[in-house]
Amino acid sequence: MSDFLIDPDVLAALKKPASSQARSAKGGIEVDVVSGSETRLAVRVVMRETPIPRETGAHSHPQGQLIGAVSGLLSISTDHGKWVVPAINAFWVPPGMEHGLVSHGPFRGWSVYVGPHLCAGLPDYPRALRTSELMMAAIRRAAGWGDGPQSDTEARIARIILDEIATTPKETLGLPMPKDLRLVRLAQALMADLSDGRSMTQWADWAGIPCRTLGRHMLRETGFGFGQWRTRARMLAALEMLAAGLSVTTVALDLGYENISAFIAAFRKTYGVTPARYFAPDGQ
């Protein structure tokens, strides 16, 4: 299945020509010049909408991609970990990085494609970031661009988008994956059944790792202790399940919580609000 947030025509337009190239500065942003004529747009925006959940398997492309949601919830996975992208956030995928996407329930969103030659000053690792009003205003303007060379105005707007990608503080809605193969196997087992309430000692025995070694390596490789990492995995799954329309009761029980109150307390501690407030229209 093709990426429902990828437009093949856009990717083709962003590829650098095979012929010899010179560089020319225009409007504060570099554009390629081939035989005296510019290539097509180096920054493009595509809007996408799907009324049903969609899943795209792991894939990569030479363009950088900033992915955002207008409504609904999107999950993105890379070898570095897993992130959820609610409507107030966006996610940056560097050029050539393998990633997969899943939308949960109805979804409306956008992608900014950045030609690989413009990604040198942008992060070379995946990251979630909170969208600013300035970024969204520039993206809405860029969404209306047609094919062809960038005008001076378009080049300035493109530079705003690139600067926002480069400088906007990162968000923390992610689940870092460990590198140790034993911990990777354990993490995958945890994510496969988040209702499993076995203790760290029991999981260490299952994985064949001394308990202290498990705790020490998990903290060093992910930044979270074992219990914190499992809670974070549950909370990311909770966002996906609630966005898909499941009730709070169902989500709490499916994620291994003994009662709804315990789940709501964990959710509030992670996100600052209750599930009802988190998914209320306009934060009401």
CATH of the domain at 50: 2.60.120.280
Most confident of 16-20, 101-105, 135-139, 238-242: 135-139
CATH number for the domain including 266? Answer: 1.10.10.60
Q: Which domain holds residue 279?
A: 177-283
Asked if the structure places residue 86 within a domain, the reply is yes
pLDDT at 17: 39
What percent of the chain stands above pLDDT 90?
A: 51
Most confident of 5-19, 63-77, 252-266: 252-266
Final residue in a domain of this structure, among 167, 199, 231:
167
Residue 27 has pLDDT above 80, yes or no: no
**Burial environment of residue 222 by CB neighbours within 10 A (0 to 12, 13 to 18, 19 or more):** buried
Q: Are residues 63 and 162 in the same domain?
A: yes
Most confident of 83-92, 97-106, 260-269: 260-269
Q: Are residues 256 and 201 in the same domain?
A: yes
Q: Are residues 56 and 158 in the same domain?
A: yes
Distance, in Å, from the CA atom of 10 to the CA atom of 43, rounded to the nearest integer, reads 9
Final residue in a domain of this structure, among 120, 148, 167:
167
Strands 55-59 and 99-114: antiparallel
**Is 276 in a helix, a strand, or coil?**
helix
Asked if the structure places residue 172 within a domain, the reply is no
Q: What is the mean pLDDT of residues 144-173?
A: 86
Q: Are residues 113 and 208 in the same domain?
A: no
Asked if the structure places residue 3 within a domain, the reply is no
Q: Are residues 75 and 153 in the same domain?
A: yes
Name the more confident of 39 and 217.
Answer: 217
Q: Are residues 201 and 101 in the same domain?
A: no
Report the number of distinct structural domains present in the chain. 2
Residue 33 has pLDDT above 70, yes or no: no
Final residue in a domain of this structure, among 167, 197, 226:
167
Q: What is the mean pLDDT of residues 108-133?
A: 91
Q: Are residues 186 and 158 in the same domain?
A: no
CB atoms within 10 A of CB 248: 18
Residues 6+ positions from 247 with CB-CB distance below 8 Å: none
Name the more confident of 212 and 280.
Answer: 212
pTM: 0.68
Residues 6+ positions from 275 with CB-CB distance below 8 Å: 238, 242, 248, 251, 264, 267
Q: Are residues 255 and 137 in the same domain?
A: no
Q: Which range (13-22, 52-61, 103-112, 171-180) has the least confidence? A: 13-22
Q: Are residues 86 and 194 in the same domain?
A: no
Q: Are residues 39 and 121 in the same domain?
A: yes
Asked if the structure places residue 217 within a domain, the reply is yes
Q: Are residues 143 and 252 in the same domain?
A: no
